[in-house]
Structure 1
Amino acid sequence: MIKSSSKAAGKAATVYGNLMLAPMVIAMRVPLLASEAGSDGNKGVETMRAITEKTSAMFEGAMAAQASLMKASWQFWPVVVAGRAPSLLTGEAAGEAMTAAFEKSGTTVRANFKRLSRPKASR
């Protein structure tokens, strides 16, 4: 099924715009990770958060991409019978699957950017 391209483009722009904050998040997070690595205590809170967020986002992204492709495959024959070009053949399904895969990561990156940008006392 071919969606309105402006709606899909808007969603993709939001997702990929969020991901563009990743270098800033890394730059803000590296000093925290380094200080945790150098401390004697078992306080690796930021380290564990970084690991669990990435694992969770990867798993959720993979599931979202699979769900998006499954939806496109279920719509294949009804779209063909209706005389339209199916999204699996036009490449639109791949783009939607990729956007779905990165959506959770983008949301997490934006949340991390907001959290790490706050003054230290409010973290």
Structure 2
Amino acid sequence: MPHTPIPPKNRANARKMRSTLTDAELKLWNELRAHRLMGLGFRRQMPIAGYIVDFACPSHRLIVELDGSQHGEDEEIRYDSERTGRLRQDGWTVLRFWNDDVLQDITNVCGHIVSTIGTIP
């Protein structure tokens, strides 16, 4: 698959976002980092296709997005749908979890990530 060039502004924003994780992002990152989840390699706040995704496992082309309550509003739902469609066009599988799911049931979230990777061709 061709690599999409990353504008310097997006690269800088991703770098900044890595230092200001939400509570849910930090909790999930502590499960994913350093190949802790089944030996899978994840990156956080990774620029892909003009977007900055929360977490990506490049070897399986899996993206994990964490959503707060603002993602339940109509405008955000439309934006997220377009974004997901664009990422899927590039061959990525996108999983979305609510922040509360991560904070309340991290085991189930991690289990879903692992089971999804098992179904990616």
Asked if these proteins are the same fold (TM beyond 0.5), I'd say no
Q: Tell me which of the two structures has the higher relative contact order, counting C-alpha pairs closer than 8 angstroms and 6 or more residues apart.
A: 1
> Which structure shows the higher helix fraction?
1
> Which structure shows the higher strand fraction?
2
Rg larger in 1 or in 2? Answer: 1
Normalised by the size of structure 2, how large is the TM-score? Answer: 0.24
